[in-house]
Each structure stands twice: as C-alpha cells, then as structure tokens.
Amino acid sequence: MFDFDFSPSRISAVSDAFCPVVFGWLVTGSLGIFAIVFAFLKWQKRTSLNWVKAAARAKKKAWKKLNVPLSHHIWAEDYGCGEQPSTCCVCLSPLVSQSLGTKAVLHTPVHRCAVCGVATHFYCSQYAAKDCKCFAQAGQSHVQHHWSERWVKMDDNADISAFCCYCDEPCGVPLLDASPTWHCMWCQRLVHVSCHPKMSKESGDVCDLGPHKDIILSPLCVKEIDAATTRRLNSIKEDMMGPTGRGEVRRRRHRNKAAPNRSLSSKFQDVPIPESPIGYVLNGIASLKKCYSEKNMGFFPGNNKGHSAKGPSPGLIKKRAGTVIYGQVKKYRLVNLPKDARPILVFINTRSGAQNGPSLRRRLNMLLNPLQVFELNPFQGPDAGLKLFSSMPNFRVLVCGGDGTIAWVLDAIEKFNFESPPPVAILPLGTGNDLSRVLQWGGGFSKFEGPTLSNVLHDVDHAAVTMVDRWKVDIKEENPNGNSNQTNGNSNKTRAKFMMNYLGIGCDAKVAYEFHVNREENPDKYYSQFVNKLRYAKEGAREIMDRACADLPWQVWLDVDGKDIAIPKDAEGLIVLNIGSYMGGVDLWQNDSEHDDNFNRQSMHDKMLEVVCVSGAWQLGKLQVGLSQARRIAQGSVIRIHNSSAFPVQIDGEPFMLQPGCLEITHHKQVFMLRKASEEPKAHATAVMSEVLLDAECKGIINSSQKRLLLEQIALHLS
C-alpha cells in the first residue's frame, strides 16, 4: 500500500527543501536573460556604429565622383548629449564614455556643426573635411543630393526615411549583409550605398528638396557675395557719406583691429549694409552668427590651433560661458527668385518658455536652408531676416516663441510696409501660448510628444489665412518730476504699445509681474513649461495671501465707448480681451454658455473688445480648473482705464508697473495670421482659396493689392 501522508509537517518539510532550488533557478534564469539582452544591445550598438563607419568610408571613396557643392562646417562647443551624435565624424571613435547602468556623459566638450549636426572631438575638428551642405549655389543648373552619413537620427520624416529611395528595401535595420546607408541633407531621403551608383547613373543625383520643397529656400536662389564685391559696395557708400562719414568708418575699423575681443554684435554692426534695391545683403550668416549665444560674445584672441589647414581660416568666436563657434563672416543675397516661390522665414526666440530654442534651431537647420532660420536676441531682431526676404513677393513667417515674440515680429513686419504682408504661423515655445491656442497650433511644442517638426512644417505650408485685430495701447503716466523738464508745460509722459491677446490690470498682472522679475533674475531655473507653471502658481498663492490689489475699485475707473462702467466692489482685477484664451487656455467670455446679459459673441476680428473682472488670485486659480466664471461687465471698441495710484499691468503677458495715469485702447489694424487647417469644411476651403489666389497672382491675373483684399474678405467670412 502507498503511504499518502499529506500532513502539514511533511508539506512544510518538502517546501523548505525545494524553495532554495526554485529561487536559485529563478535568479539564474533572470541573470541569463539579462546577460542575453545586454549582449544583444551591445551587439546592436556595435553593428550600428560599424554601419556608420562603413558609410563614412564609402563616402570618402566616392566623394570625388559626386561633385557636389560643399561648405565648411560651423563648429560650436557643446557639452550636451541629448541629440548629440555618439561618433566623431573625423576619427570615427566614440565621443561619449558610458558604463553599465549609467547615462552617457561628455567629459570634455565636443565641436558640433550648427548646420548639419555632425560632431567631432575638439582636437579633431581642425582635420574635418569640407563636406557640410552648401546653402548658396547660385549659378548651378539644379540641386544635387548631398549624401552623407546619418550621424544625427531624425525621426521627423519616418515615412520617407524607412526605406531606400531606389530599391524600396528597409534601411533602418543593420543586418549582417545589409548595405550601409546615406541620407540626403536636403530631401532627407535614404539610399543604400550599394544602390547609389545605379541611381546616380539613372537620375544624375538631382534632388527635388523632398516633401518640404515648397517651403525650402532653394540654394540655387542664394548667392554668396565675395570680398571684392563687398569692398566695392563699402567704398561706394563711403563716397556717399562724405569725409566725416569716412573718418568714422576708419575709426571703427581701427577699433576692430586694435580690440579683437569686441562683441560679435559690434562686428556685424560695423559692416555697412547697402540699402540699394539691387539686393539686400546679410552681414554674415545672420541665422548662425549668434549660435548658442544670448549675449556678450567676443572674438577669441589669436589661437590658430583650431583653424582648418585647408581653405581660408575660419573665425573663432567665444562666449564667456565657454561656447565657441568656428565660422567665416560671409554675406549673401537672394537672386533668380521664381514667381511661385513660397519659402518660410523662421524666427526663434531661444529664451522663450522652456528655452528649447537652440535644439529646435539645429533641427530646423537640418530640415531647411539655414539661411531661413534666424535667432532673436537682444542684439538682433527680425529686421535682418525680413530685409533678406523683402524682395520675395510670397513668403510665410513661422515664429517659434511665446506671445511676446509674436508681437515683436509683427511690429517689425509693420515697419517694412509690405504691399501684401506675409501671414504668420506659430510654433508655441512660451508659457501661456494663448494666441497659438486660438489659431489651433496648440499650447506648446515638445520633441517627445505631439506632432513632429516635419508635420508642423507641413501644417504651416497648408494653413489657412485668417485675420486678427491688433490694438494700440496709449500709456499716459504722470511725471513725478512735474513739468520742470517739460518745455511745453505738459507734465505727462506718453508711450504706445500694441496688443493682440489681452490686457490686465490688478491681481493677474501682479502675478505676471512677480513671475517676470524672478525669471529675469534667474533664467536658468525656468527650464521647462511645467516648472514655469508651477512657479506661476506659487506667485498666485502668494497673491492670495497678500491681496495687494484689493483697493482696485476705488483707485481705477473704467470708460467704454465714452460711458462710465461701474467696477464691482469685490473686483481685484480687470481684463480686456481680444481672443478667447487667457492664462494658458482659459475662456473668460465663454461664448457657448448661457448669460443674462445682452453682449455679443466674442470674435478676434470684429474690431470689438470685451472686459471682464475677477475677484482675486483665488478666483484665477478656480478659473484654471473650470470651477468659476469671470464676470462680464462691458464690450466696446474704445477702452479707457484711469488709475490714481501705481498698479501692475500686463499686455499679452509682458508686465510692467503703471504709474498714476491712463490707458487708452483703440483699434489699430488687422493683421494676417495663419490658422492650422482642421477637418472642418470652412477651414479647408480657406486654405484652398489661398492657394488659388497665390496661383492667380503668379500668373499675373491679379496683383498683390487685389490678392490682399480678397484674402481679407475670405478670412473674415470663412474663419
């Protein structure tokens, strides 16, 4: 007979015997799986590196046969590792050191090209080949593919970069016998190295600039001005200036020679810009002259070790924090522009919001012609880019920044007095991005989520033109010094600003003012939109306790279209609205809700303003989460706000302290903006009609003025 003893003591004894064995097998199996995965990842990384090296060696062998216009790299020091290539493009050895379980770290700075994104060791850059993409090819019959190794992984064109453009076989997986790949720096297409000779024989390596050809400034339209031409232009201008002007120019040149550490902005400002209608010339590559810089850049004193041995010696520019740029000061102009050309002009404010401007600028340089991309900073505004593009009848503007940056660019466009002003699209980089929200461009751009940069460019190309009211704000303040310095007996000082989104006085402006002051003092702490919003909430919580604007109803008077409007006694802030988004997406007027007043619906192009009031920073917080509504108190076309004591004021998110005086808001004009085309029939119809009008102008059926008037009517009726 079998003895089936299932007593608890026997089961416990068996369990005690087998548990260590089972646990040992589990640990051994886990370690084995981990070792296999680790070995596979190391093999994959090594195979990918060998792939890139094979592509680099193949390119060096075939480079003489390709006969492609080339340019020097624009080197800049970089300590970051985010999108940084992991391999030096000169010695083909790793740039980063990485141990198991640690993040890759750059122990020494590397030199990275601001145009094509390749990187080298700082001691290898002087030996780098002259193989950067050349964006000035005037005189060539066509654009050639600029094949290169894919040092920087760009996932913005996944559809066209997954397969070889010749054989349609996959290019993304480095198999054992697979051919390495090249990618074109213009159209972003991939080709197997083994397929390239066949494709070159069939098509001649002609590049069509890829899916963004309509918005890329063709290098065939860009001409580099040589030094002799520049000297002739300067001599002509000196002759026109007379003896006094020539003396001033000589003194500037002498200071440039005697002081090599002068700032980069001074270097470019001292070179005269010809204002003739023959063509506008940039002082160097305006979009690259301040790469990775914000201020106080100067020339690095005589160190020739980093200069290339081949070709002319590039300049060396250094920032105090350690960023260095190698590059020549060159001049360009646009020539032979096609009538149907419609490139985009990009302005990037690197200090907006999360300060992602430098990374975004590198990626745009890779996708577009670098001459289209301009950085905005205290030393350079939008004028340089607008002047370069002013001879182009049809172009669009993409502003990468916040609401303040948009206002800056619109001010510059107005000064140029274009016959048909370029419409403006937005890539939101700011904190609130309210105008971007109402135009359907979103509340913020992130490289990790949301649309890719390539999709954004596609949306800009197919966007619909709309109109937005722009308002003039006359600011009159009492002069605390009286009329002692006034010759006309008027003791008030007056200045003007422009508004597109909203104007606030009181508690909301107080929060914005404190946030602005802290960001100016510590810009490094405001490195992401999420952190910025947390700090904004912190200032709001402080205002809830302080209630610094509780006396607003007794210190401020409101006048709308000549009528006095009573301000509620519990109000701590007045907000004048032009658009339906405030403070990061809050709809204060709420067109779709039921109200017991007789006010009209809000529109951003009806030449009317709306006025609401809030009862403190606590209500601002509830508005953010949808637990409260602002009180609607007025609607009109002329708004006057009088204050008897100093109050914080913010216009489109730009705060300042208003001394006792008056604010008068009147309609200025309507500006062309680009609205992201949605699936709605009206939005699609607007985009199609814009294309039809552009084609009619190119064919001479209508002129620029007629196109402008028709665009205005279409935008007003179909928006």
Give the DSSP per-residue string, 436-480.
Answer: HHHTTS-S---SSSSS-HHHHHHHHHTPEEEEEEEEEEEEEEE-T
Token pair 């690259």 is found at 288
| 370 DSSP 8-state letter | G
Angle at 317 between CA 316 and CA 320, to 5 degrees: 140
* pLDDT tens-digit map of 258-282: 433 333 233 333 333 333 333 333 3
Please state, in angstroms and as integers, the Cα–Cα distance from residue 650 to each residue in 364, 436, 474, 596, 695, following that order. 32, 18, 14, 29, 42
Dihedral sign of CA atoms 101, 107, 113, 119 in order: negative
Q: Is the pLDDT of residue 447 over 70?
A: no
Q: Is the pLDDT of residue 683 over 70?
A: no
Q: Which residues of 520-535 are buried (b: 16+ CB within 10 A; e: fewer)?
A: eeeeeebeebeebeeb
Greater confidence (530 vs 428) lies with: 428
Token pair 């198991």 is found at 100
- The answer to whether 132 and 70 have CB atoms below 8 angstroms apart is yes
pLDDT of residue 71: 87
Q: What beta strand segments (E) does 134-211 contain?
A: 147-148, 181-184, 190-192
Q: Which of 149-158, 490-499, 613-622 has the lowest mean pLDDT?
A: 149-158
Q: Helix, strand or coil for residue 629?
A: coil
Token pair 């593009």 is found at 389
What mean pLDDT is reported for the chain? 75
- The answer to whether 183 and 189 have CB atoms below 8 angstroms apart is yes
d(CA 497, CA 495): 7
- The answer to whether 505 and 665 have CB atoms below 8 angstroms apart is no
pLDDT of residue 505: 92
pLDDT of residue 313: 33
d(CA 264, CA 503): 37
- The answer to whether 386 and 416 have CB atoms below 8 angstroms apart is yes
What percent of the chain lies above the pLDDT cut of 70? 70
Residue 65 tokens read as 């046969």
To the question of pTM greater than 0.75 for the whole model, the response is yes
Q: Is the pLDDT of residue 154 over 90?
A: no
Q: Which helix (H) or strand (E) holds 607?
A: none
From the list 376, 378, 348, 470, the residue with the least C-alpha distance to 421 is 470
From the list 529, 369, 524, 376, the residue with the least C-alpha distance to 449 is 529
Q: How confident is the model at residue 589 (pLDDT cuts 50, 70, 90)?
A: very high
Q: Which of 132-136, 245-249, 435-439 has the lowest mean pLDDT?
A: 245-249
Q: Which of 246-255, 348-357, 582-591 has the lowest mean pLDDT?
A: 246-255
Residue 94 tokens read as 């790793």
Q: Helix, strand or coil for residue 74?
A: coil
Token pair 């274009």 is found at 418
pLDDT of residue 247: 52
pLDDT of residue 273: 38
From the list 236, 331, 221, the residue with the least C-alpha distance to 280 is 331
Greater confidence (298 vs 452) lies with: 452
- The answer to whether 346 and 398 have CB atoms below 8 angstroms apart is yes
d(CA 668, CA 469): 8
Q: Is the pLDDT of residue 328 over 50?
A: no
